[in-house]
Structure 1
Amino acid sequence: MSIAPSLRRPVVHDLTLGVLMLDTRFSRFPGEIGNGKTWPVPLQFKVVRGATPERVVDRAGEGLLEPFIEAARELVDLGVRGITTSCGFLALFQRELSEALPVPVATSALLQAPLVEAMLPRGRRVGILTFNADALTTRHLAAAGVDSSTPVEGMPADSLFRRVFSDSELDDAPDFTVLQAEMVRAACLLVKRCPEVGAILCECTNMPPFAAAVSTATGLPVFDVVTLIRWFVLGLQPGRPF
Structure 2
Amino acid sequence: MLDTHFRRLPGDVGNARTWPFPVQFRVVRGADPAAIVHGSPEVFLEPFIAAALDLVACGVRGITTSCGFLALLQKELAAALPVPVATSSLLQAPLIEAMLPAGQQVGILTFAAEALSPRHLAAVGVRAETPIEGLPPDSLFRRVYGNRGGISDPAELEREVVAAARTLVERHPNVGAILCECTNLPPHSAAIAAATGRPVFDIVGFIEWFARGLSPQSYR
TM-score (norm 2): 0.98
Q: Is the 8 A contact 1:88 1:107 kept in 2?
A: yes
1:189 alignment partner AA: T
* 1:115 maps onto 2:91 in alignment: no
Question: Using the alignment, how far apart are the partners of 2:165 and 2:150 within structure 1?
Answer: 25
**Pair 1:240–1:145, CA change in 2 (3 A):** farther
1:198 aligned counterpart, secondary structure: strand
Q: Tell me the CA shift for residue 60 of structure 1.
A: 2.9
Q: Is the 8 A contact 1:160 1:178 kept in 2?
A: yes
* 1:33 maps onto 2:9 in alignment: no
Deviation readout 1:169-217 (Å, 9 max, x if unpaired) = 153xx11111001000000000000001000000000000000000000
* 1:238 maps onto 2:216 in alignment: yes
How many residues are aligned here? 219
Question: Using the alignment, how far apart are the partners of 1:159 and 1:32 within structure 2?
Answer: 18
Where do 5+ consecutive residues of structure 2 fail to align? none
1:158 alignment partner AA: D
Question: Using the alignment, how far apart are the partners of 1:240 and 1:88 within structure 2?
Answer: 31
1:127 aligned counterpart, secondary structure: strand
Question: Using the alignment, how far apart are the partners of 1:103 and 1:183 within structure 2?
Answer: 33
Deviation readout 1:142-167 (Å, 9 max, x if unpaired) = 01110000000010001000000001
Among 190, 194, 198, the residue aligned to 2:176: 198
Question: Using the alignment, how far apart are the partners of 1:184 and 1:135 within structure 2?
Answer: 20
Deviation readout 1:45-92 (Å, 9 max, x if unpaired) = 111111100100010314101100111111111111111000000000
Question: Using the alignment, how far apart are the partners of 1:240 and 1:86 within structure 2?
Answer: 29
Question: Using the alignment, how far apart are the partners of 1:182 and 1:170 within structure 2?
Answer: 14
* 1:105 maps onto 2:85 in alignment: yes
Deviation readout 1:11-60 (Å, 9 max, x if unpaired) = xxxxxxxxxx1000001000111111111210111111111001000103
Structure 1 stretches of at least 4 aligned residues deviating more than 2 Å after TM superposition? none
Question: Using the alignment, how far apart are the partners of 1:183 and 1:118 within structure 2?
Answer: 26
Which residue in the other structure is 2:47 paired with? 67
Which residue in the other structure is 2:68 paired with? 88
2:2 alignment partner AA: L
Which residue in the other structure is 1:220 paired with? 198
1:64 aligned counterpart, secondary structure: helix
Aligned pairs for 1:117-156 within 5 A: 117-156=97-136
Q: Is the 8 A contact 2:42 2:73 kept in 1?
A: no
Which residue in the other structure is 1:177 paired with? 155
Question: Using the alignment, how far apart are the partners of 1:26 and 1:62 within structure 2?
Answer: 24
Q: Is the 8 A contact 1:55 1:62 kept in 2?
A: no
1:68 alignment partner AA: F
Where do 5+ consecutive residues of structure 1 fail to align? 1-20
Q: Is the 8 A contact 1:234 1:240 kept in 2?
A: no
Q: Is the 8 A contact 1:25 1:170 kept in 2?
A: no
Question: Using the alignment, how far apart are the partners of 1:60 and 1:185 within structure 2?
Answer: 29
* 1:47 maps onto 2:46 in alignment: no
Question: Using the alignment, how far apart are the partners of 2:20 and 2:189 within structure 1?
Answer: 19
Q: Is the 8 A contact 1:130 1:202 kept in 2?
A: yes
Among 138, 142, 147, the residue aligned to 1:167: 147
Question: Using the alignment, how far apart are the partners of 2:31 and 2:117 within structure 1?
Answer: 19
